[in-house]
Amino acid sequence: MNVLIDYRPLWAVVISLVAAGLIMLSDKKPNLREAWTLIAAFGKMFIVFSMLPAVLSGQILVTEPLHVAKGISLYLKADPMAMIFAALASALWIVTSFYSIGYMRKLKEEHQTGYFASFAVCLAATMGIAFAGNLLTFFVFYEILTIATYPLVIHERDDEAIKSGRKYLAYTLIGGQLLLVGIIWVYVLTGGGDFQAGGFLAGKGSVTSLRIIFVLMMIGTGVKAAIMPLHGWLPAAMVAPTPVSALLHAVAVVKAGAFGILRIVGFVFGPELLKDLGVATALAWIAGFTIIVSSLIAIAQDNLKRRLAFSTIGQLSYVVLGAALLTPMGILGGMYHIVAHAFMKITLFFCAGAILATVHKHNISELNGIGRQMPFTMGAFAIGSLGITGLPFIVGFISKYNLALGALERGQGIFIAVLLASGLLSASYLLPIVYIAFFKKSEEFQEYKEANLCMLVPLVFTAAVSIILGIFPNAGAHFYDLATMAVKSIVTGNLLGGGW
């Protein structure tokens, strides 16, 4: 691949930081405040998508390094893997911005200026994580994301929100410090931390030290990815407004953790080194455990957002499992599941928020017959639910099929059983909601009353994209091609030809 100096990755970060400042200055003018949000969202997507042709043609776009000290620099890089996360987050920020405007206005929420400003900073941090060219740059934006998300988690400012915010900070900041220890150790061993396809740590330290570094990094990123038993912050954070939950689950925080795991596996250690170290198998078993146990816990939840939260914990471990399989198809499935899960889960959370804003219901047991009143919302919920179960022609099937192929490549049929069991469990905690919505009778929901258009259009759109990407996985941003290119770069970096 050709490396070119290009500052568009930096502009993709800066535009939402500028917007955050303009939003704060527009506190007394809600229309202007929301206009800045939408202008920045569309501008960010334009900047990100303008880089797609170059990256798809085999170029890597890099900003000039900012040298902090000898051997320590910060810089951004747009490669195929970065573009997956950046294109996904920039597209979904537009959708979430429209939804947020409708949700906040409908519920007459307080602290809206801080909400939209924090949201913008979160998206700047997400772009920084996506385009980070080395471990130190990744860490800086990883921690900015933690701090910027905190005001969103405590948005309601009540005792429950403050308690949940403290729990969120405790988990994520401690995890971040462990990640930093691992990063410093890498810099001591190698003199640098630039991401390299296939990894760069082979022969750089003892087996024991490399194993410890891997554990530290997996804990640091695994907290945000909500791997069990590091998941406790995520259900607690459901006290936040529903658009924030959508941000946590589909656009930024948990995806940042999952993306970090893939970066570390493919671009710091490399599959060959991890096979020699023998640590990836343990990670795969932890992911499998998380997938099954979180699904079982989800079944028992009556609160809709909590059920979706435990679903996310399991679904994100699909990405972890794909990375831990250390096979081309496994990593490909993990990368694509970042995209698949984003569209499916944001649809489900948008539907939960539409229900709350329209009929003020939190619990599944209160939703009998709601499909008669909100057919488009619950129809979108049905599409997202079927996608989570892995139904063909919805985007979740493609990633899970590749993960199953990856398990076969590794000779680990047990993980195919985990995927099948997870699909059945997903059906058992999501499809009953669809059933009671459309087939249970209720005197409460008798007349048509959908969510307002600012909420309805985004959730119908993301449901439709879930189907489109399930049939045409390269539609729009060429997500599948980008994932394939990233996997091939890891293979080439390892000088291994066609497979590992």
pLDDT digits (tens, 9 = 90+) for 433-462: 999 999 998 888 888 889 889 899 999 999
Which sequence spans correspond to the domains of the chain?
2-493
**Contacts from 32-35 at CB under 8 Å and sequence distance 24+?**
33/112, 33/113, 33/116, 34/97, 34/101, 34/116
Q: What is the pLDDT of residue 498?
A: 33
Kindly report the number of other CB atoms within 10 A of residue 54's CB atom: 17
Q: Are 144 and 41 in contact (CB under 8 A)?
A: no
Strand order in the sheet with 77-78: 2-5, 59-62, 77-78
Out of 71-80, 107-116, 146-155, 189-198, which region has the weakest mean confidence (pLDDT)? 107-116
Dist. CA 337–CA 335, nearest whole Å: 5
What's the pLDDT score for residue 248?
Answer: 66
Strands (DSSP E) contained in 277-399 are none
pLDDT at residue 494 greater than cutoff 70 = no
Check whether 496 has a pLDDT greater than 50.
no
Quote the mean pLDDT of the chain: 91
Coil vs helix vs strand at 363: strand
| pLDDT number for residue 495 | 32
Judge residue 71's burial from the number of C-beta atoms within 10 Å of its C-beta, 0-12 exposed, 13-18 middle, 19 or more buried: exposed
Nearest to 339 by CA among 45, 124, 91: 91
pLDDT value of position 491: 83
Per-residue model confidence as pLDDT tens digits over 189-228 = 998 899 999 999 988 989 999 999 999 999 999 999 989 9
CA-nearest of 81, 109, 248 to 168 is 248
Burial of residue 443 (CB within 10 Å: 0-12, 13-18, 19+) is exposed
Higher pLDDT, 266 or 242: 266
- Dist. CA 357–CA 372, nearest whole Å: 17
The tokens describing 271, both together, are 């599959």
Residue 70 has pLDDT above 90, yes or no: no
Q: How do residues 367-418 score in pLDDT, each as one tens digit?
A: 999 999 999 999 999 999 999 999 999 999 999 999 999 999 999 999 999 9
pLDDT in the model for residue 249: 63
pTM summary value = 0.94
Whether the predicted pLDDT of 150 surpasses 80: yes
Residue 497 pLDDT greater than 80, yes or no: no
Bridge partners (DSSP) listed for residue 60 = 3
326-369 pLDDT, tens digit each: 999 999 999 999 999 999 999 999 999 999 989 999 899 999 99
pLDDT tens, residue by residue, 294-325: 999 999 999 999 999 999 999 999 999 999 99
Q: What is the CA radius of gyration of the chain?
A: 21
